[in-house]
A and B are shown apart, each in its own frame.
Chain A
Amino acid sequence: MSRAALLVLADGRFPAGGHAHSGGAEEAVKAGRITGAASLEAFCRGRLHTVGLVGAALAAAAAAGADPVELDAAADARTPSPALRGAARRLGRQLMRAARAAWPSDELDALAGEFPKGAHQPVVLGVTARAAGLGAQDAAYCAAYESVSGPATAVVRLLSLDPFEATGVLARLAPELDLMVDRAVAAGRAVPGEGVDVLPAASGPLLEIGAEAHAGWPVRLFAS
């Protein structure tokens, strides 16, 4: 297992389209639910325990060799909002491009062929981890971390939040992130034997509703 490959994949500058997505933070800022570091932390904690956990488990399962087509359907079932499904598939397609350039692999080619318009991003992330020689835990860490780092970066831009405060939020969430990853990996590793129903199905209704509202705004900075 290559720790260096994990750094490449987890790098916030990995060119896979994430910079244009706020993970619901843009809508939450406008609705007054994120106003500073404390409410950003609460928002990120909520994401980590819901979409973060689910995404990490999907990524772990894909990295453990579960069928990506079944995982993609499981991701759809766990994503009620059409806007969020669309965003997840767009990000999956964008990650696929970067992944195929970085770690060419037959499994990535096959997945791209199966989903020309994109599979759910965590599924692509798990298959990418395999192609990079990484494991289920690595994939889960990437997914869980992205679920909170995206909104934190976005809020630095949206509220001109002090970037040191935003990074402090992420550092304080790290121990909880470790716990989520443990749960996600246990579930993800069980999928090849027991099927996708063992995956967690936590969701944040306000994130889903907010995403639908955000998609209807005429003017916005972030794609989701």
Chain B
Amino acid sequence: MHLDHAHSAPSAVSADAQRPDGTRRALRIGLGGPVGSGKTATVAALCRALRDQFSLAVVTNDIYTREDAEFLLREAVLPPERIAAVETGACPHTAIRDDISANLEAVEDLEDEVGPLDLVLVESGGDNLTATFSKGLVDAQIFVIDVAGGDDIPRKGGPGVTTADLLVVNKTDLAPYVGSDLARMAADAKAQRAELPVVFQSLRSEAGVADVSAWVRARLAAWTA
């Protein structure tokens, strides 16, 4: 039995901005939100928009393993070695919040194997409105909802809607068909989030992911400044 009180080396903890070799690690951005809201589609669009300028990788946390990873592979948004899938034991929110070990390992393995990286996108498997990412895993989080999930979601709030660094209201192209009131969603989001930013987007439109990718670029600039 020994308790080592004299220990002085830095304890290798997750949120350290430095890698063991002293270089700055990649910025990590989490994408959460309900199933089907457009997280994977947003990740794919972000990869297309940013990959020529930045070194990227993606970690997916499927509810069933690998579906999102396989979609990204099929779409060929990044080479396969830059996409890793993490198994979540039927509890996607646990893997991004309460016990982030497997995700951290995936992020670090990507940096070791295909690094140096500028940005790692971590997509949550998506279950409910309360799932948020631990600060030990990501530096910033994007919460993706869609207009078809009901235009009362911003009003209902919840940790994702209220506290995410960026709220994305996706699939605005569908609003006329599902009777969602975008102005009301915007007002409710403003009431919940005060100054935190909100983006309304349709990935089917010309502009696509432009606003979100501009936000990500700004975070990257701040991270490397």
Contacts and interface: CB of A to CB of B under 8 A. Distances in A.
Contacts of B13: 97, 100-101
A215 to B, nearest CB: 11
A147 interface: no
A22 B98 contact: no
Interface residues of A, number: 39
Interface string B94-123: 110011111011000000000000000000
Given A22-B89, A221-B87, A94 B9 contact: no
A105 B95 CA distance: 26
B1 A19 contact: no
A209 interface: no
Which of A20, A109, A157: most chain B Cβ within 10 A? A20
Given A157-B91, A222-B87, A17 B101 contact: yes
A154 B86 CA distance: 17
A157 B89 contact: yes
Interface string B5-34: 001010111100000000000000000000
B202 interface: no
B1 A94 contact: no
Interface in B123-168: none
- Of B66, B91, B99, chain A has the most CB atoms within 10 Å of the CB of B99
B2 interface: yes
A3 B12 CA distance: 26
B90 A109 contact: no
Interface string A1-40: 1000000000001011111111000000000000000000
Contacts of B100: 15
Given A219-B64, A221-B64, A106 B7 contact: yes
A222 B89 contact: yes
A220 B64 contact: yes
B102 A1 contact: no
Contacts of A98: 101
A104 B1 contact: no
B65 to A, nearest CB: 6
A93 B87 contact: no
Given A94-B102, A223-B87, A104 B4 contact: yes
A220 B65 contact: yes
A12 to B, nearest CB: 10
B98 A104 contact: no
Q: Is the interface of B mostly helix, strand, loop or mixed?
A: loop
Nearest to A224: B87
Nearest to A1: B1
B88 to A, nearest CB: 6
A135 interface: yes
The interface centre, meaning the residue of B7, B89, B105 with most chain A CB atoms within 10 A of its CB, is B89
A144 to B, nearest CB: 20
B45 to A, nearest CB: 26
Nearest to A2: B3
Contacts of B66: 218-219
A133 interface: yes
Contacts of A22: 89
A106 B87 contact: no
Contacts of A157: 89-91
A218 B14 CA distance: 30
A98 B105 CA distance: 12
B96 to A, nearest CB: 12
Given A104-B7, A221-B64, 15 more contacts: A1-B1, A15-B98, A17-B102, A19-B98, A94-B101, A98-B101, A103-B4, A106-B4, A107-B4, A112-B12, A133-B1, A135-B1, A154-B89, A158-B90, A219-B64
Interface of B: 1-4, 7, 9, 11-14, 63-67, 86-91, 94-95, 98-102, 104-105
Interface of A: 1, 13, 15-22, 90, 93-94, 97-98, 100-101, 103-107, 109, 112, 130-135, 154, 157-158, 218-223
Query: Which 3 A-B pairs rank lowest in CB-CB distance, beginning with the nearest?
Result: A94-B101, A20-B89, A17-B101
